[in-house]
Structure 1
Amino acid sequence: MKKQTLFANQDERAKSLRRLGWNDHFERPATNEDLDLNRVARVLSAQRDRFLVTDGRAEWLCSPSGKMRHRRQWDYPVTGDWVLVDESVVQHVLPRKNTLCRGEAGSRGKQDGAAPREQPIAANLDTVFIVCGLDRDYNPRRLERYLALVCNCGMTPVIVLTKTDLHDWPDAVRAETEGLAPGVPVVLTSTLDGSGAGELHGYLEPGKTAAMIGSSGAGKSSLANMLLGEAVQTTAAVSRSVGKGRHTTTSRELIALPGGGLLMDNPGIREIAFASDGAGLDAAFSDIRELAESCRFADCSHRHEPGCAVLHAVDAGGLSQARLDNYRKMQREMDYAQASSEKSADRVEKERWKDVAKAIKRMNKRPRR
């Protein structure tokens, strides 16, 4: 295990960290707090009680401090975080520029009144590649959910369509995808001839960080190998019978690319759940948002109201019913998550006072001496 290295001066330290993605967002508060950059490192990979970190010169394993072990999941280090370390112990997570998160697995469709907990996936990203294979993996409705998830986290999405060699009309699929995601870049790639690599490298300039998300078997690991120029991620064939991929990536790890950027592979996401309401839905469905501005009523639900521009677009063939149905479905999930979150806060307060009342009763029942 390599321990942290010391730099000769502040400029040398900052330069080394900037190659890892350190920028003005982190540097200004660090300067104001007179932070010792010799203690700063970035998390390359996060396991339950082990973190692989780097300061730009060396990599070494760290464990969480005793205090950190008892913190909420949101405050626990994830891949991409900047942290303060003492030798081989992570003491603190620096404030994040952004966080890619989702509703905790199994929370989608819950009806027990509990608020879905947010599950951080990665932090401090410049771009998120939504990877979808042009085989049986291609699913417009799932792409819409990924877009809403990424936009809800305030991040920049890029849709990457892999395995173009397996499709007869990849350009037609790209055109369809561009219609699903107005304004979002769509890149066609193939690991057989390396097509699309140049476009993606444009998002992976020195100091930039991108993460890949998508289903198992979408081709994320193969894409990582293509961008790196060598096989570092294990790949597996997709089942011919059911078209489903296997989880060849089991952890999130930042990979340094030859051009200076950093790429994060992610295990396949089986369930795309939302933990809270946000602007992601409007961003992912900008066409519906723009149509809604022409509705007769400001609070139009786009279901049965007269003068609804959204329903008129469906009738005229300008908007598919399936897209509108998916929008409504995600809106219900986000509304439920938001209501559950607010309800949960009230419940926590009530339960806290209930525990106090029980403690008082126990004290009163004790025999007096």
Structure 2
Amino acid sequence: MKPGRELAGPMTRRRFIRISGAAAGLSLAALGAGFARPGRAPPLYHEWRGVALGADASLRIYHPNAAEAGRMIADALAEVRRLERVFSLYDEASALSRLNREGELADPPQELVELLATSARYARATGGAFDPTVQPLWALYARHFRMKDADPNGPSPVDIAGAAAKCGYQRVIVDAGKVAFAQPGVALTLNGIAQGYITDRVAELLRARGVTQTLVDMGETRALDAHPAGRPWSIGIKDPRADDRLLATLALDNQAVSTSGGYGTEFDAAGRFNHIFDPATGLCAKRYLSVSVVAPTATCADALSTAFSVMPVERAVCALEELGATRAYFVLMDGSMIERGV
């Protein structure tokens, strides 16, 4: 599970994917008649780039009216900012920060209740491999490696066991009127799913406004319909060992993709300890270099790429089928890749 990176200071995680295509890298530029349908004006390409929930983010819209496209982008970013005030651990006033600080939250935002219920579903389906309560483990490792003379072998087994004892998605009590923790010391992070959820919310906002042929990336990537050129969107999975090399190129059409890898955020200079934890052991994930999942929604892809990082391949494939995802790509520690689909 990917916990909140905020306790160690603001960090923007490394990107695991590369978005390619004829329009990549352009901004507010007309694509030309090659993408126009007969009898219709050619669409315009509009792009925004920035940061959402500590991750690089971007929004690509194809729309014939530049002013309307600008309004849609502004509305989408307003929605992102609103949801960050629910899920962010940077913001001490966010709903999630208040819940972690106080141990309970009355009249929680509907989005928090919804995402916690969704998180519990993924936790059950993955046998607890996805667990939003691993924040105590993050806090432990972050504190340890901030110490001047930190043991390079990491926190002690006793300290790890103590932090792991505070984890467990069953320790979160959720209903429409209140969210509470069943014992002291529990803390939540939604960084293993919130980027996907926000990506989906932006995508649905745009779809409701009549936008198609759009690529949304608010930390995870979701394609609405096909590329304006009449082909799927091309998304490349980067080699964790060589940032300029692709291991695979995926074709997305009304699908989403998420990649998780420990190398995205590391606690120590040697790279032995990373931000993805196995809730069962309290140890950092070392099974794969990265895991990518293709699913109908970014929420699903985000949660499963996180969970699969600590699961054996064949066990992950069972969850893949149960939860409606379509493909998974496991990059092994030797750099080879296993692909599985349903």
Assess same fold via TM > 0.5.
Answer: no
Q: Greater Rg, structure 1 or structure 2?
A: 1
TM-score category, normalised to shorter length:
under 0.3
- TM-score normalized by structure 1? 0.23
- TM-score normalized by structure 2? 0.24
Give the number of the structure with larger relative contact order, counting CA–CA contacts within 8 Å between residues 6 or more apart.
Answer: 2
